[in-house]
Amino acid sequence: MSEAREFRYVGTRPIRPDGVDKVTGRANFGADMFMPGMLHAKVLRSPHAHARIKRVDLSKALQIPGVHAAVSGADFPDIASEAMAGVVDLAINVMARDKALYHGHAVAGVAATSPAIAEAALGAIEVEYELLPPVMDLDTAMADGATLVREDNYTQGLPEKPDKPSNVAGYFALSRGDLEAGFAEADVIIEREYSTPTVHQGYIEPHACVVRAGEDGQALVWCSTQGHFDVRSASAKVLGMDVSNIKVIASEIGGGFGGKTTIYLEPVAIRLSQKSGRPVKLVMNREEVFRASGPGSASKSKVKIGAKRDGTFIAIHCWHAYEAGAYQGSPMRPGLMCAFASYEIDHFLIEGFDVLVNKPKVAAYRAPGAPQSVYATECAIDEIARELGMDPIDIRLKNAVKEGSEATYGPKFRAIGLVECLEAAKQHPNYQVKLGENEGRGVAAGFWFNAGMQSSAQVHVNENGTVTIVEGSPDIGGSRASMALMCAEELGIPYENIHVVIGDTESAGFNSGTGGSRVTFATGMAVIEASRDVKRQLCARAAMTWSVDAEQVDWEDGHAVPKPGVNVEAEPLTLAQIATGAPRTGGPISGRASLTARGPGPGFSVNFTDVRVDRETGKVDVLRFTAIQDAGKAVHPDYVEGQLQGGAVQGIGWALNEEYIWDEQGTMENAGFLDYRIPVASDMPMIDTQIVEVPNPTHPYGVRGVGETPIVAPLAATANAVADATGVRITDLPLSPPRVLAAMDAAEGK
């Protein structure tokens, strides 16, 4: 299906269509919508990490002048009802019913004529709690006799249903070969434990929505989201509404990284709007984002890996526990599938646990689950290489999966680019740089499946020959530009003549959300198909003009031309000429495609980094970071590079600084960007990137997703570099100055 071809537009780097809007501040984000008569809403949140809710009394709040509506759990559908089967967790996360499950859990909401009145009204809501002991870490949660976060939770995925409830929500395992025999064959075995903390995606724009619900049961939702069709279906389920009664418009989005694939505010705002008869704006502040939106999962891993003297991996046993928050559904399963997906291995058992704790429900965070598990395996590989005295790239090259390899998670790979990335790393000038004192270098490989899912696109030809694309994937990383480039490539018209629109749920065909690294691949495929639909029509219109059959016309370089051998006197017709004549040849020209995209090409990366560690403070400075990744075909290389750079920075932050800090009562102590420190530009060197292009054979242009793989390898690459610099292996992230200092002091016997 992929074509060996030269590209004219794809692969160039034009300015993105939404660029001016965003640099001038004109772009409208989630909180930037105003509606006549709009109220301002606030949410009352539990001050306790685990408590039974005995009573919620809204009456005093409702007496405050300016308060138009208030809601609590009782205002939402009964979770015991049959219609709510399958959405109970989502529903009670949006608004608590009988229990508050984490500090920050929504307990009530109010809508008033000003934010100040709404805030005052929160103080007038009476809630009676019965405190329960909070379960705040994996060890406590998994211990025998632990307090239960959810009294009705039974572990899923075991051969038999367990006889009593526990905090383990799920078990999953991948295996092949004979583990015992494998380890018996190994010349060297490394066995280690690792952990990663709760981290936040750190999107700059908080969750926000503006909602208008009407007397006819219709609701209009404007919000910041990665998937407005998902907001529509999730909100409908939580409220017991029909999807066709909810229209969702995706505002511009100030970052998501997986964290905006679910809902928090929208059903609350809809209910408040229904009760008040007025539009309602509901916006989280940063503290609420930290306390009540889904972070990335904390994890604990045990890795035992055995290799032959020549570096061949022979057996691995991985054990990974992931925090789910107070609701089942950590990214444990994809985490396990990614853990050792980059390598060929005969004997393995990769098993994991999805564990409940009294923390907010985790959300997806870029390649969900993979950074945690790959951090553990890529650190262990580093220790094996060190033990064997092998170059860390060479040991990976020796074991790297390639076309035909059987992935640990099942399928046989088609054409993939891991070997090419490793070879590029080895050749890279940065890999030749000599290191100084207290400096170290770390290498790691990363992997993500990439996703396909559902996309729709329409391509409308305007009367002057310009083109409008309507698609339904919120543009986070420059996808408007990529869509326009692919359409330009198909139609042979300049990029500037193409305008891309992200339609709302009522103007675009159905689209899965922007996530899974699927948009350039899948929505791109829909745009290509819809553009080809347009080309067929353009050829048919030209044929009509020339009185020949449609099959006798070709589309070449932006023109309809008679096929060779067709006996007609005809000047080539441009798209603009055909568009201008369209009213006389059958009317407007529009193409469309809807598809479930199959065969997203897996994405592999290799990262290496040089760090310097300050012996006095334990502070780690990143000197160089090189991100190499197979993009299949880079449609807009700037935005591929941006993904590589952004993923690297987020991964470095995860490795070095970021972590939620909780007190014993389960209160997060650093719920703000001053205390929860994400890397800023001045912390980082320029991230060097190199794009490898091994075409994805299932995409017409060879495109692979690129958005998630970049965050997978940096944790281990950074940790491996710190170990190299200090000679001390710290296995618990983050490698923050106190921890690094303490480890170095301990190693020196201080």
Nearer to a copy of itself by Cβ, of 229 and 625: the residue is 229
Nearer to a copy of itself by Cβ, of 32 and 638: the residue is 32
Nearer to a copy of itself by Cβ, of 282 and 332: the residue is 282
Helices within 547-603 (DSSP H only): 575-585
**Rule CB under 8 A: is residue 30 a binding residue for a copy of itself?**
no
Please report how close the Cβ of residue 478 comes to a copy of itself at its closest, in angstroms: 15
Q: State which of positions 543-582 bind a copy of itself (CB under 8 A).
A: 582
Buried b (16+ CB within 10 A) or exposed e, 128-163: ebeebebbbbbebbbeeebebbbeebebebeeeeee
**Rule CB under 8 A: is residue 235 a binding residue for a copy of itself?**
no
Please report how close the Cβ of residue 467 comes to a copy of itself at its closest, in angstroms: 8
**Rule CB under 8 A: is residue 410 a binding residue for a copy of itself?**
no
**Rule CB under 8 A: is residue 696 a binding residue for a copy of itself?**
no
Q: What is the C-alpha separation between 372 and 377, in angstroms, rounded?
A: 9
Among 410, 436, 588, 727, binds a copy of itself (CB under 8 A): 588
Residue 329 CB neighbour total at 10 angstroms = 22
Among 96, 303, 445, 470, binds a copy of itself (CB under 8 A): 470
Which three-class secondary structure string do you get for 481-549? Answer: HHHHHHHHHHHCCCHHHEEEEECCCCCCCCCCCCCCCCHHHHHHHHHHHHHHHHHHHHHHHHHHHHCCC
**Rule CB under 8 A: is residue 480 a binding residue for a copy of itself?**
no
Amino acid, res. 9? Y
Nearer to a copy of itself by Cβ, of 25 and 429: the residue is 25
Please report how close the Cβ of residue 83 comes to a copy of itself at its closest, in angstroms: 13
As a whole number of angstroms, the longest Cα–Cα distance in the chain is 91
Please report how close the Cβ of residue 461 comes to a copy of itself at its closest, in angstroms: 8
Q: Structure tokens of 248?
A: 């969702």
Give the DSSP H/E element, type plus range, for residue 24: helix 19-24
Q: What is the C-alpha separation between 48 and 130, in angstroms, rounded?
A: 10
**What's the start-to-end Cα distance of the chain, in Å?**
63
Among 597, 611, 613, 691, binds a copy of itself (CB under 8 A): 597
Question: Please, which residues bridge with residue 590 across strands?
Answer: 460
Nearer to a copy of itself by Cβ, of 113 and 670: the residue is 113
Listed ranges 16-24, 145-153, 615-623, 641-649: which one lies at the site for a copy of itself (CB under 8 A): 16-24
Q: Structure tokens of 567?
A: 């006996």
Closest CA to 587 of 488, 460, 691, 699: 460
Cis before residue 734, ω within 30 degrees of 0? yes
**Rule CB under 8 A: is residue 468 a binding residue for a copy of itself?**
yes
Nearer to a copy of itself by Cβ, of 28 and 156: the residue is 28
Among 111, 142, 283, 453, binds a copy of itself (CB under 8 A): 453
Can you give the length of the chain in residues? 750
Which three-class secondary structure string do you get for 677-715? Answer: CCCCHHHCCCEEEEEECCCCCCCCCCCCCCCCHHHCCHH
The contact pattern for a copy of itself, residues 185-224, with x = CB under 8 A and - = no contact, is ---------------------------x-xxx-x------
Amino acid, res. 651? G
Among 176, 192, 499, 559, binds a copy of itself (CB under 8 A): 499
Please report how close the Cβ of residue 471 comes to a copy of itself at its closest, in angstroms: 10
**Rule CB under 8 A: is residue 685 a binding residue for a copy of itself?**
no
Helix (H/G/I), strand (E/B), else coil: 140: helix
Nearer to a copy of itself by Cβ, of 380 and 493: the residue is 493
Among 262, 454, 607, 650, binds a copy of itself (CB under 8 A): 454
Among 80, 587, 674, 749, binds a copy of itself (CB under 8 A): 587
Q: Structure tokens of 216?
A: 């006819």
Nearer to a copy of itself by Cβ, of 215 and 437: the residue is 215
Among 596, 669, 680, 685, binds a copy of itself (CB under 8 A): 596
Question: Please, which residues bridge with residue 591 across strands?
Answer: 459
Q: What is the C-alpha separation between 634 and 482, in angstroms, rounded?
A: 9
**Rule CB under 8 A: is residue 123 a binding residue for a copy of itself?**
no
Q: Applying CB under 8 A, what is the total number of residues that bind a copy of itself?
A: 59
**Rule CB under 8 A: is residue 22 a binding residue for a copy of itself?**
no
Q: What is the C-alpha separation between 116 and 364, in angstroms, rounded?
A: 33
DSSP 564: T
Listed ranges 187-195, 252-260, 448-456, 662-670: which one lies at the site for a copy of itself (CB under 8 A): 448-456
**Rule CB under 8 A: is residue 387 a binding residue for a copy of itself?**
no
Q: What is the C-alpha separation between 463 and 454, in angstroms, rounded?
A: 30
Q: Structure tokens of 243?
A: 């999807």
- Cβ-contact 128, 55 below 8 angstroms: yes
- Cβ-contact 205, 225 below 8 angstroms: no
The contact pattern for a copy of itself, residues 66-95, with x = CB under 8 A and - = no contact, is ------------------------------
**Rule CB under 8 A: is residue 308 a binding residue for a copy of itself?**
no
Please report how close the Cβ of residue 272 comes to a copy of itself at its closest, in angstroms: 16
**Rule CB under 8 A: is residue 119 a binding residue for a copy of itself?**
no
Nearer to a copy of itself by Cβ, of 48 and 232: the residue is 232
φ/ψ of residue 67, rounded to 5: -85, 125
Please report how close the Cβ of residue 22 comes to a copy of itself at its closest, in angstroms: 11
**Rule CB under 8 A: is residue 584 a binding residue for a copy of itself?**
yes
Please report how close the Cβ of residue 469 comes to a copy of itself at its closest, in angstroms: 9
Give the DSSP H/E element, type plus range, for residue 207: none
Nearer to a copy of itself by Cβ, of 21 and 556: the residue is 21
Nearer to a copy of itself by Cβ, of 26 and 414: the residue is 26
Give the DSSP H/E element, type plus range, for residue 745: helix 737-747
Nearer to a copy of itself by Cβ, of 465 and 477: the residue is 465
Q: What is the C-alpha separation between 122 and 479, in angstroms, rounded?
A: 40
Please report how close the Cβ of residue 462 comes to a copy of itself at its closest, in angstroms: 6
- Cβ-contact 743, 728 below 8 angstroms: yes
Nearer to a copy of itself by Cβ, of 505 and 643: the residue is 505
Among 503, 515, 632, 647, binds a copy of itself (CB under 8 A): 503
Closest CA to 258 of 371, 336, 164, 174: 371
Among 1, 5, 20, 680, binds a copy of itself (CB under 8 A): 20
Please report how close the Cβ of residue 587 comes to a copy of itself at its closest, in angstroms: 4
Listed ranges 31-39, 540-548, 604-612, 637-645: which one lies at the site for a copy of itself (CB under 8 A): 31-39
Helix (H/G/I), strand (E/B), else coil: 130: strand
Q: What is the C-alpha separation between 370 and 338, in angstroms, rounded?
A: 6
**Rule CB under 8 A: is residue 244 a binding residue for a copy of itself?**
yes
Give Cα 110 distance to the centre of its chain.
Answer: 31
Among 349, 595, 628, 652, binds a copy of itself (CB under 8 A): 595
Q: Structure tokens of 710?
A: 């970049």
DSSP string, 165-213: --SEEEEEEEEES-HHHHHHH-SEEEEEEEEE--B----SSPPEEEEEE
Question: Please, which residues bridge with residue 511 across strands?
Answer: none
**Rule CB under 8 A: is residue 536 a binding residue for a copy of itself?**
no
φ/ψ of residue 41, rounded to 5: -110, 155
Q: What are the residues binding a copy of itself (CB under 8 A)?
A: 19-21, 24, 26, 32, 34-36, 212, 214-216, 218, 229, 233, 242-244, 453-456, 458, 460-464, 466-468, 470, 497, 499, 501, 503-511, 582-590, 592, 594-597
